[in-house]
Amino acid sequence: MSLVQVTGLTVDYGTTRAVDDLSFTLRKGAALGLVGESGSGKSTVAAALLGLHRGTGTRVTGSVEVAGTDVQQATDEELRALRGARAAMVFQDPLSSLDPYYAVGDQIAEVYRAHHKTGRQAARARAVRVLDQVGIADAARRARMRPHEFSGGMRQRALIAMAMALEPDLLVADEPTTALDVTVQAQILDLLHGLREETGMGLLLVTHDVGVAAESVDDVLVMRGGRVVERGPVATVLGSPVQPYTRELLGSVPRVDAPVPPRAPVTGDVLLTATGLRREFGRGRRAVTAVDGVSLTLHTGETLGVVGESGSGKTTLGRLLVGLLEPTGGTLRYDGRRPRVQMVFQDPVASLNPRRSIGEAVADPLRARGERDGARLRARVGELLERVGLDPAHYDRYPHEFSGGQRQRVGIARALAPQPDLVVCDEPVSSLDVTTQAQVIALLAEVQREFGIALVFIAHDLAVVRQVSDRVAVMRQGRLVEVGEVAEVYGKPRDPYTRRLLAAVPALDPVAAAERRTARRALTAAP
């Protein structure tokens, strides 16, 4: 008997069809990956399994049966019994999924008490046990902490612990590793695999990252525009894709094992030199050193990739380079005149004012330089929008009218407006699906060649950094542990930390992924 049986599922948001006649099954203990670009309908399917569209005005037809419950016909009481107890969901953003005012352990205990008639002490003990089960050290103490006191990876583990508190038959994980650095991502994927082996639960994994699917599932279902494009065993679909769209999707995935594209040697003048750069936050005993003695040079026209885990100091370094932060130590020297610098931020939604049109957002840096003529401003903004692949006629549209990739293009146009010498890109593609990511990366390469600008490309995705960079700087706990040419750092990494980062990058080959998982497990178990 199937744990999940979906037949002819169709979901309409008003006049928009998000899922169109989708059917699939998932047996108990198996793992199925839903893979596709943003807007393909993946998350809509995941929500339909738990009846989360009920009461929203969304039109859902077809049949959805989960753990013996007919989700479409179930009463509200039956749905409440299904959610958590038989089927649980882990969402993409753990910070917004946890209540900031309550201790993490109390939130898990509350979920447990909602389905079991038990006292507070027993529920809290259960919360500590599941936190320990998902690998949170010193679980009894950390259970009393609030979400903001957890790192991103720990918050995601806490959400998984909450989902596992009731020992569900099905775990639905919606983009559970998006925006996590590679080592934490590997830990979460290993955790999900281990829990599945230990409990026999089924796993439905929603992801736009094909490498994550290769690491985690038995079968994969590729979606596009709400419909199934291709399905089958993960090794077959990823190893020998039949459909052109699947091949295009795989072709967009950056890989750390691909040949390094030939690059001309960097011969430009030195643009800036950082010597012993240091930045502290706070004072006295509570002072935290985010950047600790960093020295590097950047040349005109080159791309310097900066990689490292969350908290390694990458973003702080980028903000120091563009002058958004003042160093508390060391020097930042510009050779010749002070270069014009701009920044492209990670979150294109947060970095654009929702009340201002995208044209006005791009025009702001021009106004800051003294341009006041409205006709010239509009013409220049139109040129910039066209250069980044957007329609100049969309000048008066607002950010919410654009996709994530389009909003990031707006951010790039805004950065190019004052004709900078240096653009620092802080995780510019981390929240984008692989095809949109490839488009944005290609755009950055084009504008760099056209305008001769230098790029500092900050990312936790080592494969992306390898693809775009001339040189790579590896950061750990505020320090540079390794700097060198791309082929050198990726081919013959000197520092053990760099080797560990590279070992955590997802492999597209499921066999290689399994071997890496075994090696990581052995490394963790070693004394």
Domain boundaries, the chain: 1-86+170-253, 94-167, 341-419
Residue 170 forms beta bridges with which residues? 87, 202
Indicate the helix (H) or strand (E) that contains 104: helix 104-115
Indicate the helix (H) or strand (E) that contains 31: strand 31-35
Asked if pLDDT for residue 20 goes beyond 90, the answer is yes
- Triad 403, 151, 458: Cα angle to 5°: 50
Residue 66 forms beta bridges with which residues? 4, 69
Read off the pLDDT of each residue in 193-218 and give the average, rounded to a whole number: 87
pLDDT attached to residue 191: 82
Q: Which single residue is written with the structure tokens 């020992």?
A: 167
Read off the pLDDT of each residue in 438-455 and give the average, rounded to a whole number: 88
- Contact between 150 and 86 under an 8 Å Cβ cutoff? The reply is no
pLDDT greater at residue 187 or residue 361: 361
pLDDT attached to residue 438: 84
Q: Among 65-79, 405-419, 462-476, which stretch is predicted with the lowest mean pLDDT?
A: 405-419
pLDDT attached to residue 280: 92
pLDDT attached to residue 523: 57
Read off the pLDDT of each residue in 106-122 and give the average, rounded to a whole number: 89
pLDDT in tens, 341-352: 899 987 777 788
pLDDT attached to residue 480: 95
Beta sheet of 59-66, edge-to-edge order = 16-27, 2-13, 59-66, 69-70
Asked if pLDDT for residue 407 goes beyond 90, the answer is no
Question: In sequence order, which residues have a C-beta less than 8 Å from that of residue 96 and are 6 or more positions away?
Answer: none
Task: Indicate the SS3 state at residue 122.
Answer: helix
Task: Determine the length of the chain.
Answer: 527
- The top-level CATH class assigned to 1-86+170-253 is alpha beta
Distance CA 426, CA 404 (A): 15
Asked if pLDDT for residue 46 goes beyond 90, the answer is yes
Residue-averaged pLDDT of the chain = 87
pLDDT attached to residue 357: 92
pLDDT greater at residue 510 or residue 44: 44
pLDDT attached to residue 371: 77
Read off the pLDDT of each residue in 285-304 and give the average, rounded to a whole number: 91
Four-residue CA torsion sign, 136, 137, 142, 148: negative
Residue 177 forms beta bridges with which residues? none
User: CA distances (Å), 492 to each of 254, 462, 498, in order?
Assistant: 19, 15, 10
pLDDT attached to residue 265: 66
pLDDT attached to residue 524: 57
pLDDT in tens, 238-261: 889 999 999 988 888 887 776 666
Distance CA 161, CA 136 (A): 10
Give the highest mean pLDDT range of 61-75, 130-144, 508-522. 61-75
Beta sheet of 219-224, edge-to-edge order = 87-90, 170-174, 202-207, 31-35, 219-224, 227-233
Largest distance between two CA atoms of the chain: 73
Read off the pLDDT of each residue in 359-382 and give the average, rounded to a whole number: 87
pTM of the full predicted structure? Answer: 0.81
Q: Among 30-44, 177-191, 441-455, which stretch is predicted with the lowest mean pLDDT?
A: 177-191
Asked if pLDDT for residue 233 goes beyond 90, the answer is yes
